[in-house]
Amino acid sequence: MEKMIDLDEEDWLRQAKTILKKKFGYRQFRTGQQKIIQDVLNGRDVFAMMPTGSGKSLCYQIPGYMLNGTVLIVSPLLSLMEDQIKALRSAGEMHARALNGMMHARERVRVLRHLRDLRFLYISPEMLCRSDIREALAKIKISLFVVDEAHCVSQWGHEFRPDYLHLARIREQLGHPACLAVTATADERVREDIIRSLGLHKAAQTIMSVDRANIALVVREVSSDDEKMERLCTLLRSTRLPGIVYCASRDWTEKLAQLVHCKLGIRAAFYHGGMEALDRRKIQNQFLDNQLDLLCCTNAFGMGINKPDIRLVVHFHFPATMNAYLQEIGRVSRDGQQGLAVLYYSPQDNQYPEGFINSNFPEESFLRHIYYELDNGVLTIKNKDQFLNDLQERGSSETAARFIYERVREKPVHQSFQSIFKRSRSIIEQRRSVLLRDLLVMKNYLAATECRRTYYLNIYHESPGKKPVYCCDRCGISLADFDQANFDDTVIHREQLMNWKERLPYIFKEGDRSMQ
Amino acid sequence: MFSEALLLFLIRQFHGERTVSGIYHLLKGKQSSQSIQDSYLFGVKPFFHLCDDLERQSFQKLIERLHDCGWIQCVNSKQTTFIITEAGKNKLNKSGIEHTIPDGVKITNYVTTEGQFWLKLQLLIQTLSALRYHETAFLPITKQPPVTEAIRRIVLNRSLTRNELAHQLYQELCRLLTHIPRAEADLFAAQFSGYQMIGLTMKQIADESGKDLYECRMLFKSALRRLMADVSNNKSRYPLVASLISPAVSSLSNTAAVTLRLLRSGLSALETANHRNLSLSTIEDHLVEIALKEPTFDLSEYLAEELEQHIVERAHRLNTRRLKTIKNDLRENASYLQIRLALAKNTLR
């Protein structure tokens, strides 16, 4: 394999460290980063599994300053791109841009015109599938092809994105730059899938432990919703914040935010996908800016959120997979300080994940009817968005609609839709059984009598390392140790200025100037 | 509670002649000719687009509550149309809501552009605040491309430095807010986001101030409309804020404005329909909207003055604005379009 830059080991390390210090303000590499960066600089294909909060992005950002050309980062989510670019800008990097479907055509033209000047370009897989974008990209030098959230390439992953399947081919068309695939959570099967699907050649692998030793784990079984709410209030009355409470439904987020605010006087708000975009953004920004102590939300909140000082994640309902659970509690204490994850469950909570699994797929009679309508020309798939919309109007969930679209798209040209019904049905059964198996693992975790950490590390075929002081409820910890009183956090309670004559001068930094 | 009184007021005005969806669309500000006409027809123009963030579910809950309290009663089997009961009338009278409606909401000239203006204003404030504090990155409160493009143009294409720009916006806003009743101005500004001072959502403002959510929405819209009127009438005093107001010439919806242009160029309604590839009934909707909002446009081609008088008289005698009732009475003497035009023209006088 050809080396991408010609430096001996000491030289590159010194250079990389200088960049780390100057640009990003860190003195030391964290575990895993140094090896990954070295492999990348050596021009190898790299697969890296790093838990959330362990500094994934530095692994391509630092090479970005050492290689000639543009680092192309494929990212599945708008909010992720936005957050990354915001972080780079804060570090003084002005040559970072994004290309995605949500932006103004004029903005897109501006980005394409200045491609050559960019050090980092974030792009959605949909954009990358467009031929005009690819042609423009083919004209510049891509120094590194990064696939973020690489588990999206695997249909076994919990967030399968069909567009990711084209990435290997696109990489060829862009002159086969070296590839770095990163993900936070992937079991063995998903890892193999990623390496195969992206065509990684003799990949250098760095697999880091999924263990987050600085997060203590507590699971509490309760008998009713009322008891749950009571326990939650007791916990929140003293425990160190800011925190997040994950709920399975929108109604619950609103109910809990209200409860906590009224009963405890905590600055709490709710956040879910049914809110106006503007309100969502305000609440998110308030949380990031420490104007809120607690956010009650659905899993719509979290992706691409970079807040290192979240101290508590509570699950008011448990998620459907261990992967999702680890990802959600992984938002605690990214700065390395001690954090806490508490999960409450009661027997009736089973309905939520099961309902979630079912909503992923169409019911048999529904699917049969849709295929019938397709055969008779009542429905067509000429326009993807229109088709998805039509299905949802007929009562399908969004994920089920996407599932049907994928099936229908695979259909051989000269066959009827009816003819692929059996195959679709068996795919549903297959997928459903995978999800049910994942759910069972999650439930077993709740019921486990041994150490929680040991249990989930086993799932990822890891053996536990040194036991942290605060491990889990099974190993014995006291919630009192997480009391706000034990930490000298200086919580700045910035007054929300309701008086415009104070608010406006603050916003415009007009402090001493007199009003006119 | 304000929300209850507001809904009782609207239900009384609609008098069982529209379903509750009609009221919902009115508050939401649905850009359909039906909703726009209704706002004129039932004397509820200020309430159009008053609660553009209203959720269907919470609206429905409120209706159910009014029903449970016995203030409204159902008049159709599908449970979609209501009229106010005697108890409801008492409740409404006691609330004195008609006197608490702020004058600002009655300014309806800018209703089609107020949503975009508001987003642009918030984004401009957020952007200039970030620049003022040398914050190199922030998460914008909106990503709507037309809004971000407009702000980008303003911030980049000025001869002023960014600090001067921020100072100017500050001064213009101070002057504008001074002209607005204090409670409205506070509520308005509490939504502004800036450096480490993220704006509150309407719900948070309601919680904070102890006011009803609907009342907050109304005070906000009152402030917004007063401010837009002030700016439009005194463009030279507020050049920066004025540049955020789109030059919408009339309050017509965009599509009705296109139809009006074609009609003015001499096309007939049918020719306009063919030309625009729209159905004739859509063009007729536009005609009614034009009758409401462009009173100077001559519609005698569609409705002779004599017939107009006749329809108005009958409607008055029947004491209804329900088209079907009037049509049944007039039979073949008048078309639905003519009845709608007659009602539209005469709500204005």
Q: Is the pLDDT of residue B260 over 80?
A: yes
The string of pLDDT tens digits covering residues A61-87 is: 999 999 999 999 999 888 788 888 988
On whether any CB of chain B is under 8 Å from the CB of A261, the answer is: yes
> Do A460 and A341 have their domain in common?
yes
Residues A144 and A239 occupy one common structural domain:
no
- Predicted local confidence at residue A179, as pLDDT: 96
Instruction: Please list every residue in chain B whose beta carbon sits closer than 8 Å to the beta carbon of residue A283.
Output: 201
Are A516 and B186 an interchain contact pair (Cβ–Cβ within 8 Å)? no
Q: A481 falls in which pLDDT band (50, 70, 90)?
A: confident
Please write the tens of the pLDDT for every residue from A437-462. 889 999 999 999 999 999 999 988 88
Residues of A (448-507) whose Cβ lies below 8 Å from B? 494, 496-500, 503-507
Pairing between β-strand A120-123 and β-strand A96-99 as defined by DSSP bridges: parallel
Separation of alpha carbons A80 and B72, rounded Å: 49
Query: For residue A307, what are its two tokens?
Result: 């807040």
Please, is B116 exposed, middle or buried when counting C-beta atoms within 10 Å of its C-beta (0-12, 13-18, 19+)?
middle
Using DSSP's 3-state secondary structure scheme, residue A486 falls into: helix
Interface membership of A514 toward B (CB under 8 Å): no
Q: A472: which DSSP letter?
A: B
Considering A207, A230, A249, which residue would you say is the last residue of a domain? A207
Measure the CA angle with vertex B112, ends B111 and B117; round to 5°: 85
Looking at this predicted complex, what is its ipTM? 0.76
Share of chain B above pLDDT 90, in %: 49
pLDDT band at A215, cuts 50/70/90? very high
Phi, psi of A215 (to 5 degrees): -110, 115
| Range from A50-54, B56-60, B123-127, B147-151 carrying the lowest mean pLDDT | A50-54
A69, A193: one domain? yes
Most B CBs within 10 Å, among A275, A492, A499, A509, to test the B interface: A509
Q: State whether residue B193 sits within 8 Å of chain A by CB.
A: yes
Given CB atoms, is A110 within the 8 Å cutoff of chain B? no
Residue A341 is inside which H or E element, if any? strand A339-345
Q: Are A112 and A18 in the same domain?
A: yes
Asked if A403 and A373 sit in the same domain, the reply is yes
Same domain, A52 and A158: yes
Please answer whether residues A53 and A126 qualify as being in contact, where contact means their C-beta atoms are separated by less than 8 angstroms.
Answer: no
How many structural domains comprise chain A? Answer: 3
Which residue of chain B comes nearest to A106, CA vs CA?
Answer: B149
A170 shares its domain with A245: no
Q: Is A37 helix (H, G, I), strand (E, B) or coil?
A: helix
**Of the listed ranges A268-282, B98-112, B314-328, the one predicted with least confidence:** B314-328
Q: Which of A507, A513, A516 should we substitute to test contact with B (largest number of B Cβ atoms within 10 Å)?
A: A507
- CA–CA distance, A449 with A474 (Å, rounded to integer): 7
State the smallest CA–CA distance between residue B208 and chain A in angstroms.
Answer: 9
Q: Is A111 on the interface with B (CB under 8 A)?
A: no
Mutation target among B148, B162, B170, B241 for the A interface, most CBs of A within 10 A = B170
| H or E, element range at B274 | helix B269-276
Report pLDDT digits (tens) over A11-49: 888 999 999 999 988 888 988 899 999 999 999 999 999
What is the torsional sign of CA B8, B11, B15, B19?
A: negative
Q: With contacts defined as CB-CB under 8 Å, which chain A residues touch B197? A: 494, 497, 503, 506-507
A279: CATH = 3.40.50.300
Mean pLDDT of A119-144: 92
Report how far apart the first and last C-alpha atoms of chain B are (Å, whole number): 33
Whether residues A480 and A349 fall in one domain: yes
Nearest C-alpha in B relative to A254: B203
Interface contact B170-A510, CB threshold 8 A:
yes
Using DSSP's 3-state secondary structure scheme, residue A302 falls into: coil
Q: Tell me the CATH number for domain B2-101.
A: 1.10.10
Q: How far apart are CA A303 and CA A82, in angstroms?
A: 11
Q: For residue range A314-342, list pLDDT tens digits in order.
A: 999 999 988 889 889 999 998 889 999 99
Position A501 in a domain = no
Shortest CA distance to B97 belongs to which of B29, B41, B44, B152? B44
Could you give the CA distance from residue A232 to residue B217 in angstroms, rounded to a whole number?
A: 33
**CA-CA distance, B127 to B123, in Å (whole number)?**
6
Query: Which residues sit opposite A120 in a β-bridge?
Result: A71, A96
A167 and A280 fall within a common domain:
no
Report the pLDDT value the prediction gives residue A1, as an integer from 0 to 100.
47
Q: A263 to chain B, minimum CA–CA distance in Å?
A: 14
Q: What angle do CA A317, A322, A325 make, to 5 degrees?
A: 50
Q: Do B207 and A261 touch (CB under 8 A)?
A: yes
Residue B349 predicted with pLDDT over 50:
no
The reply to whether A196 and A268 lie within a common domain is no
Whether A181 is in a domain gets the answer yes
Pairwise CB contact (< 8 Å): A282 & B196? no
Q: Which residues does residue A313 pair with via DSSP β-bridges, in sequence order?
A: A244, A341
Higher pLDDT, B43 or A45: A45
Residue type at position B95: S
The answer for B 162-181 residues in CB contact with A (under 8 A) is 166-167, 169-171, 173-175, 177
Same domain, A247 and A330: yes
Confidence of residue B119 (pLDDT cuts 50, 70, 90): very high
Which domain covers residue A414, as residue numbers? 360-437
Entry field: residues in chain B: 349
What is the spatial order of strands in the sheet that A120-123 belongs to? Answer: A96-99, A120-123, A70-74, A142-147, A179-183, A46-49, A204-207
Q: Return the sign of the alpha-carbon dihedral for residues B273, B276, B281, B286.
A: negative
Tell me the C-alpha to C-alpha distance, in Å, between residue B11 and each of B90, B127, B346: 14, 42, 22
Domain boundaries, chain B: 2-101, 114-242, 250-296, 298-349
Q: Is the pLDDT of residue B250 over 80?
A: no
The arithmetic mean of pLDDT across residues A364-368, rounded, is: 94
Q: Mean pLDDT across chain A, nearest whole number?
A: 89
A120 and A165 belong to one structural domain: yes
